[in-house]
Amino acid sequence: MNELIEKAKILHQLSKDEIVSVLKDNSLNDELFKAADEIRKEFKGDEVHLRALIEFSNICRRNCFYCGVRAANKNIDRYRLTPDEIINLADNALKTGYRTIVLQSAEDMYFTAEILAGIIKEIKKNDTAVTLSIGERSYEEYKILKDAGADRFLLRIETTDKDLYKKLHPDMSFENRIKCLKNLKELGYETGTGCLVGLPEQTVESLADDILFFKELDADMIGLGPLIPHKDTPLKDAASDGFWLSLKVMALTRLLMPDINIPATTAMETLRQDGRILALQSGANVVMPNVTDEFHKNKYEIYPGKKSVDYTKLEEKLKQINRTISKDKGFR
Ligand code: SAH
């Protein structure tokens, strides 16, 4: 075996230079994916955790350069689900068998911490975990949501290259994003972060920094995937060839953080039909099927061609690769 992959497998530790050299050497890919699959099996077993994703608003105050729901995009129908609609979608998902509800939205300030807390409390009357993915808020707001019963929070750092972060996120601050992640950790959330792979000007060196950042933060979950250019954004002409590189970043993350949760992301399946399965065989142990109703799902177009998958089909596909759906909440 390649000595760096072997070292990562045993020590779960690599230097930046070592990560860079694995990322650059595509002749190692098969070995890398296999090693990540073995570590996933050893630390997390063959159960796959399903998280039901509800995209409850696409109304956004931000202008992230890659994202289709950015405020400046006028070619989009904006929507906001009502608390009752959100609670109903969650109830249906729980009846189907999901044990985690993920509430995701654009940065829609209509949803105050108090309104969200009411929704969380209602959903938490059931035996379920609740994950939030609603962007940046103050410590106090995160605390209200935690006290209401939220268990987990996803907030990708997107990139640890500060200059690139600044270019892609006008009016946002890299320091504040880090502070949000630290606050979430401090408040006791299972905290997820992650990055986009294949951004213009992004280097493998900065991807290595991303991986080391995940480790330093001691993130509980890492979600990452390739950039998929959206026609109504400043990155419309960017390349969309980040599939293999994101699989490599994901596999390396598994080797260095053996016990965390890692989703096979929708962006991976969007670029390749077998993308989700390949990810599950290269370190991932989580899938987040979209349970938003068809009408609104299509309007939450952060990138085009978002592929969805339902519970029954997934069960079938997982069986084919000798994996089962977990019946528990799947904490780290
Ligand atoms: N507003 C929330 C949720 C964002 S959507 C937040 O800020 O956390 C979830 C993720 O989708 C983002 O973190 C981003 O990494 C990803 N995403 C956005 N646009 C994308 C694109 N064009 N291609 C691939 N992934 C994208």
Query: Would you tell me how many other CB atoms lie within 10 Å of the CB of residue 187?
Result: 16
pLDDT tens, residue by residue, 222-252: 999 999 999 999 999 999 999 999 999 999 9
CA of 224, closest atom in ligand 1: 15
CA of 107, closest atom in ligand 1: 1
Please indicate whether residue 254, judged by its CB atom, sits closer than 6 Å to ligand 1: no
Listed in sequence order, the residues at least 6 apart from 163 whose beta carbon sits closer than 8 Å to its beta carbon are none
The rounded mean pLDDT for the chain is: 97
Binning pLDDT at 50, 70 and 90, where does residue 1 land? confident
Nearest to 76 by CA among 231, 238, 227, 291: 231
Please indicate whether residue 106, judged by its CB atom, sits closer than 6 Å to ligand 1: yes
Please indicate whether residue 101, judged by its CB atom, sits closer than 6 Å to ligand 1: no
- Reported CATH class of domain 2-325: alpha beta
What does the block give as tokens for 43?
Answer: 């630390």
Enter the pTM of the model: 0.98
| Distance in Å, CA 33 to ligand 1 centroid | 25
- Domain extents in the chain: 2-325
CA of 104, closest atom in ligand 1: 3
Burial (CB count within 10 angstroms: exposed 0-12, middle 13-18, buried 19+), residue 179:
middle
